[in-house]
């Protein structure tokens, strides 16, 4: 009798895990598809040539004392951006990525444009549209934050939901694999 009751309890638990797994998967299918697709693209960006992410070019010197001041480099980057992409209406700097070991300062602008300058001369090394940044913003939902309120709460909510869902899938998936094995052993 006790063995039969235990078997029924295990079967019921297995049904609950199957239902949770199915409902979570159906509810978050689109989001999992986006995370998987964009994650795959981001993982491969260094191996796609300049299609997704451009390489970091080499400047003339890695000695910071020989570099131009950052504010001067920023003015040069904005000048080069206007020349390379004349259709841009508004130029807004997002961040500066200094690669001392390459002698390069990367200026990343809103709307996913990038300018790489030689740190010492301010010469243009490369200008491009940064597709990988756009893909990354889709991947972590920060694109939604930038369109709405910019506070970061949408990204925080999204990453929390996706992280918890991945944990639920891992636990329920393990139980869906292990549960039937355990159930067969109780026979």
| DSSP track, 53-97 | SPPPPP-S---GGGSPPHHHHHHHHHHHHHHH-TT-----EEEEE
Looking at the structure, tell me whether residues 154 and 123 fall in a common domain.
Answer: no
Looking at the structure, tell me whether residues 87 and 109 fall in a common domain.
Answer: yes
User: Which residues span the domain enclosing 104?
Assistant: 54-129
Looking at the structure, tell me whether residues 70 and 46 fall in a common domain.
Answer: no
| pLDDT surpasses 60 at 1 | no
Q: pLDDT value at position 2?
A: 62
**100-128: pLDDT as tens digits:** 999 999 999 988 999 999 999 999 999 99
Plot region of 150 (φ>0 → left; ψ -120 to 50 → alpha; else → beta): left
Q: How many domains, the chain?
A: 2
Looking at the structure, tell me whether residues 60 and 124 fall in a common domain.
Answer: yes
Distances (CA, A) of 154 to 42, 82, 146, 161, 178: 21, 32, 10, 11, 36
Shortest CA distance to 63 belongs to which of 102, 95, 117, 97?
A: 102
Q: pLDDT value at position 34?
A: 93
Looking at the structure, tell me whether residues 39 and 70 fall in a common domain.
Answer: no
What three-state secondary structure class fits 156?
helix
Last residue of some domain: 80, 98, 129?
129
| pLDDT surpasses 90 at 83 | yes
Considering 15-19, 52-56, 65-69, 150-154, the range whose residues carry the highest mean pLDDT is: 65-69
Looking at the structure, tell me whether residues 31 and 18 fall in a common domain.
Answer: yes
Looking at the structure, tell me whether residues 58 and 47 fall in a common domain.
Answer: no
State the pLDDT confidence band at 69, using cuts at 50, 70 and 90.
very high
Question: Considering the entire predicted model, what is its pTM?
Answer: 0.76
Looking at the structure, tell me whether residues 67 and 94 fall in a common domain.
Answer: yes
**In the beta sheet, which residues pair with residue 115?**
107, 127
Mean pLDDT on 18-24: 85
Percent above pLDDT 70 for the chain: 96
Looking at the structure, tell me whether residues 158 and 135 fall in a common domain.
Answer: yes
Looking at the structure, tell me whether residues 64 and 83 fall in a common domain.
Answer: yes
State the pLDDT confidence band at 38, using cuts at 50, 70 and 90.
very high
| pLDDT surpasses 70 at 166 | yes
Calpha distance 122→7 (Å, rounded): 73
Last residue of some domain: 129, 146, 166?
129
| pLDDT surpasses 80 at 182 | no
Looking at the structure, tell me whether residues 14 and 35 fall in a common domain.
Answer: yes
Last residue of some domain: 129, 159, 178?
129
| pLDDT surpasses 90 at 70 | yes
Q: pLDDT value at position 186?
A: 66
């Amino acid at each position: 009798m006790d063995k039969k009751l235990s078997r029924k309890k295990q079967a019921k638990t297995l049904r609950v895990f199957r239902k949770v797994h199915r409902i979570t998967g159906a509810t978050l299918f689109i989001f999992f598809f986006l995370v998987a697709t964009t994650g795959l693209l981001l993982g491969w960006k260094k191996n796609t040539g300049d299609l997704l992410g451009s390489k970091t070019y080499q400047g003339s010197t890695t000695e910071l004392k020989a570099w131009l001041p950052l504010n001067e480099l920023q003015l040069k980057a904005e000048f080069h951006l206007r020349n390379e992409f004349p259709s841009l209406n508004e130029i807004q700097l997002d961040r500066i990525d200094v690669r001392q070991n390459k002698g390069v300062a990367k200026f990343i602008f809103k709307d996913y444009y990038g300018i790489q300058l030689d740190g010492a001369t301010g010469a243009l090394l490369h200008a491009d549209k940064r597709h990988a940044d756009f893909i990354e913003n889709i991947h972590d939902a920060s694109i939604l934050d930038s369109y709405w309120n910019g506070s970061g709460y949408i990204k925080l909510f999204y990453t929390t939901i996706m992280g918890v869902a991945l944990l639920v899938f891992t636990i329920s998936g393990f139980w869906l694999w292990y549960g039937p094995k355990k159930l067969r052993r109780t026979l």
